[in-house]
Structure 1
Amino acid sequence: MARAKPKSALHETISTVVWALVIALGFRTLFFQPFWIPSESMKSSLLIGDFLFVNKMAYGYSRYSCPFAVCPIEGRIFGSDPERGDVVVFRHPTSGDDYIKRVIGLPGDTVQMKEGRVILNGQELVQQPDGIFAETYEPQGPMKSLPRCGNGVVGLGASCERSRSIETIPTGEGDKTRSYPVLNIADSTGLPDNSEIFTVPEGHFFFMGDNRDNSMDSRFRQGAQGGVGMVSADLLIGRADRVIFSAAGSRLWYFWTWRMDRFFHGIE
């Protein structure tokens, strides 16, 4: 009987790498996708340099669940709707970038901004003052962006401050509510502090950033200054529940910039 020809070390290595990639791709597609926070639109809940895994099982799957949107899925399968207050990663309707914002409006809801307050279905969401959110005015993250401050023009190394409140929203599940911090930089007569009344269409959701004066979201119509507009259900990628790791510097290996207090930090 002829013996099977032994496999070469190179063949074994290639096979191992291929299977590792297949497993990693399957894990990323079906379960959890890594996501870095690139901007300050979700401060103070999420900071530039926070690293998290997005739960892709939370709302089911669409073609955008796969890298490069290659999943052969029409609409959404195994789908469920997010609750108001969920922090969600979704595909921007026009740019194709991945965004992360908070769900404010569900299908059929009306949403309006009036003097910096959210009016949901005709009722103003309660905000309780929660002091000041302060951070050092310095370049942040790989893009070295500078934060916007509410205490005027400050120099590098100075304290950059914004007023913070705790907003409470009904989740849409019975009498449950959810509370989270929102920031205010300055008051304005138009957007983002004042808007028309938006009605959320069926199969769509209304998103806003927690850093209310520095977030391009559903308050801005698609195609207007990079606005998001209403986001359809098939663009949802997953829910963000917890920060795994956080670094304030421009490089991951700058260990002296690691924010140890944010490791495994729950997202409100």
Structure 2
Amino acid sequence: MATEEKKSGGIVETIKTIVYALLIAGVFRTFLFQPFWIPSGSMKDTLLIGDFLFVNKMAYGYSYASCPSIIAPRFGLNIDATDICGIFDGDNKRLLGSEPKRGDVVVFRHPVSGRDFIKRLIGLPGDKIQVKGGLLYINGTPVKVQDAGVFEEVAEEQGPQRLRPRCENGPVGDGGICKKSRQRETLPNGVEHDILNIGNQGSDNTSVYTVPEGHFFFMGDNRDNSSDSRVPNIAGGVGFVPFENLIGRADRVMFSSAGKSMLFFWTWRSDRFFKAID
């Protein structure tokens, strides 16, 4: 009898430990930091496919988007943030809110699909944004750019989705060197970051976008390979992003894997451990 009671007590303690651990992890993920795995090349060369980082949720305060979404089709899980915190959705306000800065690298919820995106904040409320000849204009003034050489990578399938890079010198066969022109862009507030160019396309010449109050305009650093605010969200792009949809700021890459899984430690990029995000 004593042995059975001991076993029963041990099981209860184990369950309690698991529940407490899940609660702590939930609080950590909801209010402090959210893990994020870079799935695509839209932010190269600032962020590479396979970079793993934590998003600082304290940076901009909290909204319904701060609640986690749990999407795991393999296990039949599709829990959206609105399922948990939908009562706070729609007012475009934040608790303990803090305005993001131009040039921040931000994770946000897509206004239509609800999926998490990561892009660079380019336009603030009231700004007029336009791209002409591949050059960014903010409120009628072109940003400063200077040549920063060439970005090179191997032309091969990348990440779990096995995406192939687009190349300025393409088409490039497997194992070849894929090249993109690289420039250093300086935003009006002095933030500097690299941007990549693949070729001339429609997104290099846009109309003028006037950012509405309470919204923001985002672009990927890999300018010719990014679905961002240059395309309305009703047309498959991002469009203007409401303040309440911001999840947090990305400050530092924790580690990076060039393979199909973060568990493949032999593919980790040692030069990206704890790398600050410009």
Shift of 1:98: 0.2
Q: State the partner residue of 2:75.
A: none
Match of 1:212 in 2: 223
Q: Of 234, 251, 259, which residue of structure 2 is paired with 1:241?
A: 251
Alignment partners' CA distance in 1, 2:211 and 2:66:
23
Q: Residue in 1 aligned with 2:147?
A: 129
Quick check: 1:186 aligned with 2:187? Answer: no
Other-structure match for 2:72:
none
Taking structure 2 as the reference length, what is the TM-score of the superposition? 0.90
Which of the residues 70, 90, 103 maps onto 2:108? 90
Paired with 1:64 and 1:154, the residues of 2 have a C-alpha distance of 40
- Structure 2 counterpart of 1:22: 23
Aligned length: 256
SS in 2 for 1:18: helix
Partner of 2:214: 203
Give a deviation string over 1:160-197, Cα, whole Å, max 9, x none: 000000000023xxxxx100000000013xx2100000
Richer in helix (by share): 2
Aligned counterparts of 1:134 and 1:13: Cα–Cα separation in 2: 50
Whether 1:141 aligns to 2:167 is no
Instruction: Please give the alpha-carbon distance, in whole angstroms, between the structure 2 residues aligned to 1:220 and 1:251.
Output: 31
1:174 aligned partner: none
Q: Deviation at 1:256?
A: 2.0
> Which residue in 2 is equivalent to 1:253?
263
Structure 1: 4+ residue segments shifted above 6 A: none
The amino acid of 1:254's aligned partner reads F
Which of 122, 141, 145 is the aligned partner of 1:104?
Answer: 122
Q: Distance in 2 between matches of 1:80 and 1:110?
A: 22
Helix, strand or coil at the partner of 2:255: strand
Give the deviation of 1:80 after TM superposition: 1.1
Alpha-carbon deviation of 1:252?
Answer: 1.8
Alpha-carbon displacement from aligned partner over 1:25-83 (angstroms, at most 9, x marks no partner): 00110100000000000000000000000000000000110123223435311111111
SS in 2 for 1:213: helix
Distance 1:218 1:9 in 2: 54
**In 2, Cα distance between equivalents of 1:53 and 1:207:** 20
Structure 1's unaligned 5+ residue stretches are 172-176
Give the corresponding residue for 1:34. Answer: 35
Cα shift at 1:255: 1.9
The separation in 2 between residues aligned to 1:169 and 1:27, in whole angstroms, is 33
- Kindly report the root-mean-square deviation, in angstroms, between the aligned alpha carbons of the 2 structures: 1.2
**TM-score scaled by structure 1?**
0.93
Identity across matched positions, percent: 59
Cα distance in 1 between the residues matched to 2:265 and 2:10: 37
What residue in structure 2 maps to residue 167 of structure 1?
185
Spell out, residue by residue over 1:223-254, the C-alpha distance to the aligned partner (whole angstroms, 9 max, x if none).
21x20000000000000000001000002222
Q: Structure 2: give runs of 5+ residues left out of the alignment.
A: 69-79
Alignment partners' CA distance in 2, 1:86 and 1:252: 25
